[in-house]
Structure 1
Amino acid sequence: MCTNYVLVKKSGSAELADRLSVDPNELIYGLNFKPGSLISIITGSGDGHVVRPATWWLYLQQTEKGLKPHRDYFSVNTRYDKVGKKLEYRRRRCIVPATAFVESQDGKHPHLLEPADGRGIAFGGIYKEWTDKVTGEVVHSASIITLPGIKPLENIHRKSVPMWLPDDAYEKWLSPEVTDAEELNYLLESALRCDLKATPIDKTFSKVPIGMPFVISQKNDD
């Protein structure tokens, strides 16, 4: 997965927030979330689902100026074959809401990918909780889980895809009562949840279209 995604305020993101029983006005919106950005994550608790701000970089490092992304551990993504060994997979799972994401092949020919029907995307992730020794503030950090590459996207990004949760898995994924990894491992299978609109863009950050959009069909997901 390329390290850039989008969350804009529209009907799809509002509907996703509604399904997750959170206030869409609490979400952080942006056109260019990149490593180290402050993003929104949704977590489970005994009182329901909670929107939290989090640094998109799982491992942080204490500095004299506060907690910062740990440069020795590039951790915006966590591979499917490593996540099962992490305590966070059993205890601290989250959903990262998005409306589009960028993929490219070996850093070239980036495409903006978004659900063709306008729905929101629920990326599966894990998070950590830290206490900043400078400010005393409790802060969170997060990583998006990545899965093996999938045939419909092989010409755009062959190596991996972000974990995209199906609607009926939200409650189980966020439940603090589900601590047995075996109950969740069926979700570690690559899948498209709908048709995607793919738009060739000039660069990951600027996202200026340079070609006609085309549809990647979910039906080719085998």
Structure 2
Amino acid sequence: MCSVFDVDDHAGIERFLDIYGVHHPQRMIFGRRRRPTQQVSIVTARHGEPEIENATWHLYMERDGDGWKPHRKYWSINSNWKKLGSRPEYRKSRCLIPATAWVESQSGKNPVEFSYGEPFFFCGLYKTWGELLSCSIITLDAHPATKKYHEKSLPMIAPADTDFVERWLTGGEDTAQFEPYLHPHIEYHGNSLMVQPVVRATSTEYAGERIGVEG
């Protein structure tokens, strides 16, 4: 379960977005340790071209007076890959979520930060609620090499492939094309996954050295 992630503005995000032709990078929300229900930046192509939009990190919302708030009964910051077939958003409203790192823990203990040393996209889903957007991060099964850090899951990370990004955002309801990607991988763009202990999941203070995850 991915519940904390970073979007570091010193990690070449604008250059990264430019590679994939993403418009309006000035809309990006930066910050370390982004948390559930906060506003985060996502990439959609709902207006034709890939662009940065901002969304509440909690897919399902409920009415709150004249507005919306995260639904109390449906905790939905993540969307498990096994349930994607029943989610209309998987067929109709896929998104990408720029990030530079994420934090996991084992039953709330021994939190660690995962990173690749460069920006990447989480694969996600989004919904519209009037003028408001909401989103979730798709989670896969844990990789054998990451189970000792978080035994339940690993976030789905888009390959560094412009063709995949285009198909993910604009590929319509043909989800069969994405089945090969619904398996956990720990290498990204030729880089090994790195892991570093942190004092607390929401802390930026480290508790040990950064090492490569061997898989």
User: Aligned to 2:195, which of 194, 198, 201?
Assistant: 198
Pick the aligned partner of 2:179 from 165, 168, 185.
185
SS of the aligned residue for 2:183 comes to: coil
Q: Aligned residues: percent identity?
A: 34
- In 1, are the aligned partners of 2:120 and 2:160 still within 8 Å (CA)? no
In 1, Cα distance between the equivalents of 2:19 and 2:183? 22
- The answer on whether the counterparts of 1:61 and 1:67 sit within 8 Å (CA) in structure 2 is yes
Indicate conservation of the 8 Å contact 2:25/2:52, yes or no: no
Aligned positions, number:
209
Matched, 1:79 2:80: yes
Structure 1 runs of 4+ aligned residues shifted over 4 Å read: none
Task: Give the letter aligned to residue 13 of structure 2.
Answer: S
Greater Cα shift, 100-109 or 180-189: 180-189
1:174 paired with 2:173, answer no
Per-residue Cα deviation, 1:64-108 (whole angstroms, up to 9, x for no partner): 262100010000000000012111101100001100000111110
**Distance change (3 Å), C-alpha of 1:2 and 1:11:** closer
Give the secondary structure class of the aligned counterpart of 1:15.
helix
Given that residues 114 and 198 in structure 1 are in contact (C-alpha distance below 8 angstroms), is that contact kept between their aligned partners in structure 2?
A: yes
Asked if the contact 2:11/2:100 (under 8 Å) is kept, the reply is: no
Q: Deviations over 1:155-192 (max 9, x none)?
A: 111110000010221111011x4211212222211112
Q: Distance in 1 between matches of 2:66 and 2:202?
A: 27
SS in structure 1 at match of 2:118: coil
Cα distance, 1:207 vs structure 2: 2.6
Alpha-carbon distance between aligned partners in 2 of 1:2 and 1:167, rounded to the nearest angstrom = 20
| Counterpart Cα distance in 2 of 1:47 and 1:74 | 30
8 Å CA contact 2:2–2:137 kept in 1: the answer is: no
Work out the CA distance in 1 between the residues paired with 2:147 and 2:12. 26
Gaps of 5+ in 1: 132-137
Aligned equivalent of 1:142, options 118, 135, 139: 135
Matched, 1:4 2:4: yes
Q: Secondary structure at the residue paired with 1:48?
A: coil
TM-score by length of 1: 0.89
Deviation at 1:19, TM superposition (A): 2.1
Q: Take 2:212 and 2:14, find their aligned partners in 1: how far apart are those partners?
A: 23
